[in-house]
Amino acid sequence: MHPRFPLPRSSYAQKLSLVAAIPLILAVAAIAVLVIVQSRALADREIAALERRLIEAKKDELRNYVTQARNGFYFIYGNAAPDDEVAKQQVAQILSAMIYGDEGFFFIYDYDGTNLVSPRQTEMINRNWSDLTDSEGVPVVDEYVRLAREGSGYVQHLWPKPSTGKEARMITFVLGFQDWQWAVGTGVFIDDVIASVAAARADVEARVRQTMLYILGITLAALLLVFVSGMMINIRERRLADAKLKTLTQRVFDAQEEERGRVARELHDGISQILVGVRYALDTARRKLEQGKTDAGAPLTEGIAHLGTAIAEVRRISRDLRPGALDDLGLGPAIKALTEDFAERTGMRADFKTVVFRNRLDEDAKIALFRIAQEALTNIERHSGATEISVDLRGHKKGATLRISDNGVGIDQAQRGATGLGLRNMQERIEQLDGTLRILSSRGSGGGTVIEATVPLTHLLPPDTVTTKAKKVSA
């Protein structure tokens, strides 16, 4: 594919519609095939039954014709001898005159296959037709003779219609006159039966097509509904995503501004004041030197002390922004240093416990737990009124847990709902790792607050990976 014409990527709505549409299409296709097969099978049975009924009606009609004809000349046949040519002539004349409808007639063949009577096709009379077959290979006259020898019977075959000369399907009933060795019979063309069956089949096909159109219409309606639902869900999800993105963006901006404000306050209230003191001490030492006084060493010593304090403050601010111990020594030492610095700065009693991690947490988990510890200690310093804190960090079979508790005044229900920016930041950091954050507190009960953050086992690195990373660092 040319790079200027990349393949289109599926959207969320398209994927959702596809996932919903494929099973629907397969189910509808299976139902359609089942309906068509069952409908055709039922229709074939009904058409076969209709054809049998119509054929049986034709057969009954033929039997009645032959019975009536036989009753007309039976008194002649019954009283005649086998070689009574006069009686045979009389019966032949009677049957020659018995024509009915547009195509109906009686015929006589002797058992040798010679035609004796054929009033509508006189060119066949007095000729032997024992080898006559229709276009389907049915030996028509031989079948007449066979049935006559057996007594009577029906045969279905093709025969030229007297009116058109073209072959058409007909049913013939043959009765045997054993004394004279005659095959006497008549037949009817079943064009009307074939037309009725064809009409029934056409009706079935029309109903099947109509059913398919109904199924297709229902399928299209269902697919349209799936598509519209997918689009609505996509629009809704996109709106929610846009709203969340705007909220998240604003919170990022707020966090940036808050961090900038904190760093600005640290620089202004700490380092700036210290540097002002250094400048004052240096100015004092300069004036004394210009005046030739010998006590300029005292302000210089004071300025050097102030510079040491400024350097320590810069290091503290740098450590707060990104502690070097977190990258060099791991999470345990970094949180231990954070706790000790907190205790030294606030005067609270701090107890830190940990299980040796061997730096097995991945980078995302280390940063998240360290920032949660930072945020928790900041909240304790600002709001808790506590005198003691306890920090516990350990790994277990489900992952790793950081637990920070204090003996302060606790958090009320509104704050526990993570309405504050700090608590929201903690919750979001741990959610990004698929972990859990629990806040246990009772406002005013003196029980303090417990913040417990757990990251899952998926964020613990295999021992081989940790060993390899350690070798790379040492190298």
Partners of 353 in beta bridges: 392
What pLDDT was estimated at residue 60? 83
Bigger pLDDT: 372 vs 309: 372
Q: Please give the pLDDT value at position 324.
A: 64
pLDDT of amino acid 334: 83
Joined tokens for residue 75: 């008194």
Per-residue pLDDT averaged across 371-392, rounded? 86
- The architecture of the domain spanning 325-474 is 2-Layer Sandwich (3.30)
pLDDT band at 213 (very low <50, low <70, confident <90, very high): confident
CA distance 101 to 52: 23
CA angle (158, 161, 162) in 5-degree steps: 145
Q: Mind listing the pLDDT tens digit for each residue in 385-402?
A: 888 889 998 888 778 888
What is the arithmetic mean of pLDDT over 206-230? 80
Return the CA Rg of the chain: 55
- The band of 449, judged by pLDDT with boundaries at 50, 70 and 90, is confident
- Note the pLDDT of residue 412: 63
Six token digits for residue 273: 């004041």
410/173 Cα distance (integer angstroms): 110
Q: Between 238 and 88, name the one with better pLDDT.
A: 88
Name which residue leads in pLDDT, 335 or 18. Answer: 335
Read off the pLDDT band of 470 (50, 70, 90): very low
pLDDT band at 115 (very low <50, low <70, confident <90, very high): very high
What six digits make up the tokens of 406? 């204090």
Architecture of domain 16-195: 2-Layer Sandwich (3.30)
Between residues 474 and 387, which one has the greater pLDDT?
Answer: 387
Give the separation between CA 114 and CA 182, rounded to whole angstroms: 10
pLDDT at 415 over 60: no
Predicted TM-score (pTM) above 0.75: no
Token pair belonging to 208: 């099947």
Side chain identity at residue 241, one-letter code: A
Q: How would residue 466 be classed by pLDDT, with cut points 50, 70 and 90?
A: very low
Indicate if the pLDDT at residue 139 is higher than 90: yes
pLDDT of residue 356: 63
Residue 475 confidence (pLDDT) above 50? no
Collapsing DSSP to helix, strand or coil, 274 comes out as: helix
Phi and psi angles of residue 387, each rounded to the nearest 5 degrees, phi first: -115, -15
Domain-wise residue ranges, the chain: 16-195, 325-474
Structure token pair of residue 2: 């040319």
pLDDT value for 129:
92
User: Of the given ranges (44-58, 133-147, 177-191, 456-470), which has the lowest mean pLDDT?
Assistant: 456-470
Report residue 310's pLDDT band, with 50, 70 and 90 as the boundaries. Answer: confident
Weakest mean pLDDT among 5-19, 327-341, 430-444: 5-19
Helices (H), 80-117: 85-97
* Residue 276: band (very low, low, confident or very high) from pLDDT cuts 50, 70, 90: confident
pLDDT computed for residue 418 by the predictor:
42
| % of the chain at pLDDT higher than 70 | 83
pLDDT of residue 379: 85
Give me the chain's average pLDDT, please: 79
- Of the pLDDT bands very low, low, confident and very high (cuts 50, 70, 90), residue 108 is very high
User: Do residues 166 and 181 touch, judged by C-beta distance below 8 A?
Assistant: no
- What average pLDDT score do residues 399-424 get? 71
Min mean pLDDT across 115-119, 194-198, 286-290, 293-297 is at 293-297
Q: Give the residue from 401, 397, 404 showing the smallest Cα distance to 374.
A: 404
Q: Which residue has the higher pLDDT, 311 or 450?
A: 450
Nearest to 178 by CA among 60, 66, 75, 78: 78
Q: What is the pLDDT of residue 12?
A: 55
Looking at residue 269, the DSSP 8-state letter turns out to be I
Q: Confidence band (pLDDT; 50, 70, 90) for 15? A: low
Model confidence at 77, pLDDT cuts 50, 70, 90, reads confident
Could you give the 3-state DSSP secondary structure of residue 139?
A: strand
pLDDT band at 142 (very low <50, low <70, confident <90, very high): very high
Which of 176-180, 341-345, 460-464, 468-472 has the weakest average pLDDT?
A: 468-472
Q: Please, which pLDDT band fits residue 144 given cuts at 50, 70 and 90?
A: very high
- For residues 56 and 190, what is the distance between their CA atoms, to the nearest angstrom? 11
State yes or no: pLDDT of 336 exceeds 80. yes
Are the CB atoms for 184 and 66 separated by under 8 Å? yes
pLDDT of residue 325: 63
